[in-house]
Structure 1
Amino acid sequence: MRIVSGMRPTGKLHLGHYLGVLKNWVELQKENDCRFFVADWHALSTSYEEKLNLKKLGYDLVKDWIAAGIDPQHSTLFVQSAVKEHAELYVLLNMITPLGWLERNPTYKDQLEQMRHKEIHTAGFLTYPVLQTADIILYNAEGVPIGEDQRPHLEIAREIVRRFHHLFGCEIFTEPKEMLTPTARLLGLDGRKMSKSYNNAIYLSDTTEEVWQKLRTAKTDPQRVRRNDPGDPDVCLVFDYHKALSDDATVQKIDADCRAGAIGCIDCKKICAASIERLLKPMRERRAQLDERKVESIIEEGNDKARTEAAEMMQRVNGAVFEISCHT
């Protein structure tokens, strides 16, 4: 299956990104034709005032992808803004997309509410789903891995495809199907959403010592005062990390020992730190093998492949729009 997905380069990736996105990407690439792109234009839709070094952040993002197990030999990795056909198709799709579709998008309304501290009443933010549609259909993606909150965006994408085909009489694009990603929702170490702005995240690039220094401060059962007090793992943040990152036998033992008061919180955190270390150590080793020149070469190779495919698609699109002819 042809699969397309992207990620915005807004900072270092953390465990939440791995569990929510990258772990799934690593599995998908094994049996599918995958294209993963650095969504730097999308980053500007909400972070245009932050003067981010998007080129450096994009390279760092690709490093994290490869460190996490994304294989450039099996997946095409490229930068959105390096393939100008994304913008070309975005302009054309904007010409035919009804404003009401975008204004009624529940994700748009939710994010306006959640990001009231930012000035995001912009055309770019409103038309985010149109650019997302261009990103997907430019490569005839059959499947798009998304979370539940992205379902409205993908439905808009399908509606835009149908409208284009109806208006221009050419069935050029594939209607993308959603691939809902089962995610383990992992909160930050302070119980809030995991975010760099809250300084509560464990990053994929953290050292062993950094992981432990962060984890030792994590919230546990507030009712547990002494080491031998029975605890309730269901209200313990560290146990959520165990469920996401430790093996089943360890999870069951921690659950039983905590309820019996047979393990203290520090010992529980040390076991959790070991589970995190098993995940991050191979990532550090792969990252250490990547220098800037190698990453640049991987990205340029992916950009070239994406440009070739995108140019072929835009030739067909422009034929339908400007010549009223189908190139099948």
Structure 2
Amino acid sequence: MSSVVPAQRVVSGMRATGRLHLGHYHGVLKNWARLQHEYECFFFVADWHGLTTEYENPGSIEQHTWDLVVDWLAAGVNPGSATLFVQSQVPEHAELHLLLSMITPLSWLERVPTYKDQQEKLKEKDLGTYGFLGYPLLQAADILIYRAGQVPVGADQVAHVELTREVARRFNHLYGREPGFEEAVAAAIKKMGKKQSRIYLNHRRQYQEQGDESALETARALVQDQQNITLGDKERLYGDLEGGGKVILPEPQALLTPASRMPGLDGQKMSKSYGNFISLREEPGEVESKIRRMPTDPARVRRSDPGDPENCPVWEFHKVYSDDATRIWVREGCTSAGIGCLDCKKPVIEAVQEEVEPIRKRAEEHLRNPDLVRSVLSDGCEEAREQARATLEEVRAVMGLHYR
């Protein structure tokens, strides 16, 4: 029986696309570095997910995986605080994906917003495959195998977490009704003692009759704090609270991350496909060269022409890197033609250099010691498999696949 506290566990993955850039750092890695100290975190390289669109070109996946993990470590993701692993090295993900596919309606996958959207954007690829259709369900398995309670995502990924919740809910409805469930729940409530039982029943009624979410949270916390009931009884009471059966696969919540404000060098979203990025391992000279070449307000044809920062991609970098005093200096200098565009870019160059330099140096250290990186992933895969096996053992049992 699992001793996991779902609310304290976070799972997140990243496709193996190779070296990362400042957009990844501000959009994902800084958040991971914070979460690893607040939650029990599992971060994985989603190499199988990479195959959903790149199945014809698998040759770069392994190198991209190493590059990805090196950048994670260099950016401050700590294997002492989080579990880092490679998805395909934990085959339990695939087995849970298979088992969940037996109960997931086809229409649920077809209605995922990104399904048709990605087919439209990637017209040059043949995406008429089960792997592409089923990748949201594999994503659900990635989350549910660790009984995670929190999934850090941007707003565009909330629908994927909602699908995961629906799949977990359907699974628990189908397989959580063990024989004698009501009697087992009544016995567990009695073990809590008269006072605690009365509080539990009152909060259960408030939630089930009035939809009081705070009553549900209070009752869950009460159950979690009980010392005189088994873990199995706790799982039954969690299921009883929500009017279902025993919770085998907890429903995760989307942990919305702040939208990344990191623009590309041309003002669009920073992306490798646009060629407008600064990588986390960019050499100092290349950082300076790229920023010096950035386009500026087209109204500033000559040094003496005034401009508008809102029409300049460099201004977006100032929003990320500069303090209030520098931004005031830039705005006043630009609109009055008091400073030139190269003057405006200098503080940005210095700030980006200051951010990237220590990351680049740490990455170089890891590249000189590849055995350490392999060891980090080996240990992480072992820990991940241990957790995944525990979940699968219970899933197999309730699905009638527990042979002895």
Match of 2:97 among 81, 85, 90: 90
How many Å apart are 1:229 and its aligned residue?
2.1
Contact map agreement 1:67 1:286 (CA 8 A) in 2: yes
TM-score, structure 1 normalization: 0.95
| Counterpart Cα distance in 2 of 1:243 and 1:256 | 15
2:207 maps to 1:200: no
| Deviation sequence 1:150-196 (CA, Å, 0-9, x none) | 01111000000000011112421111101111123434323444322
User: Secondary structure, in 3 states, of the residue corresponding to 1:45?
Assistant: helix
Moved over 4 A (4+): none
Amino-acid identity (%): 51
Q: Which amino acid aligns with 1:300?
A: S
Q: Write the mapping of 1:169-188 to structure 2, written as runs, cut at 5 A.
A: 169=176, 170-188=246-264
- Whichever of the two has the greater Rg, that structure is 2
Of 4-13 and 259-268, more deviation after overlay is shown by 259-268
Residues 286 and 35 from structure 1, CA distance in 2 versus in 1: closer, same or farther, beyond 3 angstroms?
Answer: same
Q: Which amino acid aligns with 2:320?
A: A
2:344 maps to 1:268: yes
Residues 294 and 115 from structure 1, CA distance in 2 versus in 1: closer, same or farther, beyond 3 angstroms?
Answer: same
2:187 is aligned to none
Q: Write the mapping of 1:57-206 to structure 2, written as runs, cut at 5 A.
A: 57-169=64-176, 170-206=246-282
Of 89-98 and 254-263, more deviation after overlay is shown by 254-263
How many Å apart are 1:323 and its aligned residue?
5.1
Q: Which amino acid aligns with 1:306?
A: A
How many Å apart are 1:246 and its aligned residue?
2.7
Give ranges in structure 1 of 5+ residues lacking alignment: none
TM-score, structure 2 normalization: 0.77
| Counterpart Cα distance in 1 of 2:122 and 2:110 | 16
1:284 is aligned to 360
2:398 maps to 1:320: yes
Q: Which amino acid aligns with 1:250?
A: T
- State the superposition RMSD in angstroms: 1.6
Give ranges in structure 2 of 5+ residues lacking alignment: 1-7, 177-245
Contact map agreement 2:74 2:360 (CA 8 A) in 1: yes
Contact map agreement 1:64 1:204 (CA 8 A) in 2: yes
| Counterpart Cα distance in 1 of 2:329 and 2:376 | 43
How many Å apart are 1:324 and its aligned residue?
8.6
2:241 maps to 1:234: no
1:217 is aligned to 293
User: Secondary structure, in 3 states, of the residue corresponding to 2:41?
Assistant: strand
| Deviation sequence 1:4-34 (CA, Å, 0-9, x none) | 0000011211111111111111111122111
User: Secondary structure, in 3 states, of the residue corresponding to 2:399?
Assistant: helix
2:389 maps to 1:311: yes
| Counterpart Cα distance in 2 of 1:296 and 1:15 | 25
